[in-house]
Amino acid sequence: MFKFLLHRLLATIPVLLVVAVVVFLLLRLTPGDPAAVIAGDIATTEQIEHIRESLGLNRPLVVQFGIWFGNALQGDLGESFFFRKSVAELIAQRLEPTVALALCTIVLAVAVAVPLGVLAAWRHGGWLDRALMGFSTLGFSIPVFVLAYLLIWLVSLELGWLPVQGYRRLAEGFGPFIRHLILPSLTLSVIYIALIARVTRAAVSEALTEDFVRTARAKGLPERRVLIRHALANAAVPIVTVIGIGLALLIGGVVVTESVYAIPGLGRLTVDAVLARDFPTIQGVILLFSVAYVLVNLAIDLAYLALDPRIRY
Amino acid sequence: MDTPLAELAAEAAVPAPRAATWRRLLRNWSVRIGGALLVLLTLVSVLAPWLGTVDPTLIDPVNRDLLPGARAEVATLTGESFEHRFWMGSDSYGRDIYSRVLYGGRVSLVVGIAVALLSLFFGLIVGLTAGFLRRLDAVVMRVMDGLMAIPGILLAIALVALWRPSVPTVILAITVPEIPRVVRLTRALVLSIREEPYVEAAVSVGTTTLRLLYRHVLPNTVAPLIVQGTYICAFAILVEAILSFLGVGLSTDVPTWGNIMAEGRLQFTQYPHNVLFAGVFLALTVLAVNVLGDGLRDTLDPRFSKRGDRP
């Protein structure tokens, strides 16, 4: 057990290192002077000189990486000349909306997708099953922003139930906070629901063919209990895995969703940074999202131990 | 070489009879529907000049914000003028949305197909290498794991921003994050094929590694890779539209579905037709490719192509 934990933790290190190298190289692969690229279009010559000095841009690439990586480890992601702030500060300011949106979406997606997947597996080949499979193919195909506009048009403009766009901080009260989050989360959750429901259906279908399910039914357990306690519990590992893998999809969706709904989060920051060619910020956001993705999936791997007592590494 | 083993090896290397596979494919409803829709959409965008379109970039302030179905005089840059029916209305520059949507399909299809082919090509090479040269395997796969940890859309956005958008750079930027997934799939296929008796048989009669790759391993990776390729194609079409929509993709004077929608969004509350027609075409195209992919997967039945592994 301890050996597994250690092994899994150590395996994360090369992955994070590759991420860091790729993000670092992003800037060096640009044609032209990296100092000028980092400084952006509005920096002065002195500022460019200062950047060259502090990041050691005249020294070998390995040394440059060392400096950059050392800074990043201490939370120093560089300076955004466009926003006139440190990248770390920028990210901290934009973190709340994105985390709120992501959590809200995950909760919504799991709450909808898992029961649907279980029911579809239970009535394999029935109308709900076919409808769900059709819906999930549609969910994979409909672009996030098309869906966003359809929902805005229907829910906000025609029915007038929810605000069209914008964001309210949690500090401004839970009511407005959640009202502004419902539509974006709904938009973002569709593709996630499609993914989780498919995997849940497949995993539960397989579990339902097992002997222990037949035994459970034979001893007269109510079907509900068979489905949840026996089938779903045994299908938990693939479902939780796909929730973790799907996070990559969610992060991509966040960028688009925040743009459509004018939410001032990290996704919106990414787009603004790209449009302003503000590379330190782009690097910082990508690094943050990737590290978050790796760590969440690490946490999920460790959660298997709790979910499935059979797994003893 | 007339040993029974050699015969066994040669027999297994021959792919399933082509005609039978085709018949099986054409009997599958997903393949029929997805394929037909895709052929139709391709024809419509390729034949756009002969389908009653005008220059998709022709700006005509007199005709701006027309509703779908409206008729109006169009004046071209050369001074000619004729009556044109705006089947899908016009945008705030007076450009014909029907023409823009039809021409926009060309970009989407080219990007989708190019990304699928390129990522399959590079993924196959790296995957075969990792699967065969075991010494490289660990290193290559760690690099791929790292690349896969970076959310694909973010990496594509950053790459486009670095290289400045054009059709080739957009294609490359979407391809890079897709390659590791193909590598993983190919490597998994190679590792399982290597365990097959026919490979063992081929090795035992002294088949060279290159010949083994070409005659035995490669043919057996084709079906799963084709399926994976369709999913990549669908995803690439989506990502290209997202890049354009966010304003970081192809320049706004190229008619792409993402660009049309990005421009239309400003007036969405008054004139939803701007966003909706491009959106419907985009969704239909991606749906067609995905449905085709599902049909191919069910027919060719590769054990490895699973949706769950494809964020």
Higher pLDDT, A307 or B121: B121
Residue B1 pLDDT grade (very low, low, confident, very high; cuts 50, 70, 90): very low
Judged against a pLDDT cut of 60, whether residue A227 lies above it is answered with yes
The DSSP symbol for B63 reads G
Specify the pTM: 0.85
Rounded Cα–Cα distance for residues B154 and B151 (Å): 6
Of the candidates A198, A238, A290, the beta carbon closest to that of B149 is on A290
Distance from CA of A221 to the nearest CA of B (A): 32
Judged against a pLDDT cut of 60, whether residue B112 lies above it is answered with yes
The predicted structure's pLDDT at residue A68: 83
pLDDT in tens, B24-60: 888 888 888 888 999 999 998 888 777 767 777 777 7
Judged against a pLDDT cut of 80, whether residue A307 lies above it is answered with no
Q: Which residues of A touch B268 (CB under 8 A)?
A: 149, 152-153
Q: Which residue of B has its CA nearest to A243?
A: B308
What torsion, rounded to 10 degrees, do the Cα atoms B31, A239, A243, A195 define?
20
pLDDT in tens, A112-131: 999 998 888 888 878 888 88
Q: Does B142 contact A137 at a Cβ distance shorter than 8 Å?
A: no
The predicted structure's pLDDT at residue A32: 67
Q: Which residue of A has its CA nearest to B280?
A: A146
Report the candidate in A282, A213, A255, A235 with the shortest Cα–Cα distance to residue A97.
A255
Residue-level length of chain A: 313
Which class for A301: exposed (0-12), middle (13-18), buried (19 or more C-beta within 10 A)? buried
Q: Which residues of B touch A30 (CB under 8 A)?
A: 162
pLDDT in tens, A144-178: 888 888 888 888 877 878 777 778 887 787 878 88
Distance from CA of B62 to the nearest CA of A (A): 28
Q: What is the DSSP string of A283-304?
A: HHHHHHHHHHHHHHHHHHHHHH
Distance from CA of B230 to the nearest CA of A (A): 12
Q: Does B246 contact A256 at a Cβ distance shorter than 8 Å?
A: yes
Q: Which residues of B touch A245 (CB under 8 A)?
A: 308-309, 311
What integer is the mean pLDDT of B182-204?
A: 87
Q: Which residues of B touch A138 (CB under 8 A)?
A: 287
Judged against a pLDDT cut of 50, whether residue B305 lies above it is answered with no
Distance from CA of B150 to the nearest CA of A (A): 5
Q: Does A146 contact B247 at a Cβ distance shorter than 8 Å?
A: no
Pairs across A and B, CB distance < 8 A = 154
Distance from CA of A222 to the nearest CA of B (A): 31
Q: Does B291 contact A140 at a Cβ distance shorter than 8 Å?
A: no
Q: Does B158 contact A274 at a Cβ distance shorter than 8 Å?
A: yes
Nearby residues of B39 by Cβ (< 8 Å), 6 or more positions away: none
The predicted structure's pLDDT at residue B77: 67
Contact yes or no for A144/A257 (Cβ under 8 A): yes
Contact yes or no for B74/B81 (Cβ under 8 A): yes
Cα angle A73, A78, A84; round to 5: 145
Q: Which residue of B has its CA nearest to A271?
A: B246
pLDDT in tens, A52-93: 777 777 777 788 888 888 888 888 887 777 777 888 888 998
Of the candidates A30, A143, A277, the beta carbon closest to that of B282 is on A143
Of the candidates A153, A195, A286, the beta carbon closest to that of B308 is on A195
Distance from CA of A219 to the nearest CA of B (A): 34
The predicted structure's pLDDT at residue B195: 83
Q: Does B149 contact A153 at a Cβ distance shorter than 8 Å?
A: no
Which class for A50: exposed (0-12), middle (13-18), buried (19 or more C-beta within 10 A)? middle
Q: Which residues of A touch B34 (CB under 8 A)?
A: none
Residue B3 pLDDT grade (very low, low, confident, very high; cuts 50, 70, 90): very low
Of the candidates B142, B157, B282, the beta carbon closest to that of A146 is on B282
Rounded Cα–Cα distance for residues B167 and B179 (Å): 18
Q: Which residue of A has its CA nearest to B138?
A: A14
Q: Which residue of B has its CA nearest to A21?
A: B146
Report the candidate in B208, B216, B196, B203 with the shortest Cα–Cα distance to residue B13.
B216
Q: Does B149 contact A14 at a Cβ distance shorter than 8 Å?
A: no
Range with the largest mean pLDDT of A98-107, A228-237, B267-276:
A98-107
Residue B94 — left, alpha, or beta (φ > 0 → left; ψ -120 to 50 → alpha)?
A: left
End-to-end CA distance of chain B: 47
The predicted structure's pLDDT at residue B2: 42
Distance from CA of A164 to the nearest CA of B (A): 10
Residue-level length of chain B: 311
Distance from CA of A50 to the nearest CA of B (A): 22
Judged against a pLDDT cut of 80, whether residue B110 lies above it is answered with yes
Which ipTM did the prediction report? 0.84
Mutate to test the interface with B, among A21, A145, A192, A296 (most CBs of B within 10 A): A145
Q: Does A140 contact B294 at a Cβ distance shorter than 8 Å?
A: no
Q: Does B157 contact A270 at a Cβ distance shorter than 8 Å?
A: yes
Which class for B205: exposed (0-12), middle (13-18), buried (19 or more C-beta within 10 A)? middle
The predicted structure's pLDDT at residue B237: 93
Residue B311 pLDDT grade (very low, low, confident, very high; cuts 50, 70, 90): very low
Of the candidates A17, A153, A255, the beta carbon closest to that of B153 is on A255
Q: Which residues of A touch B287 (CB under 8 A)?
A: 137-138, 141-142
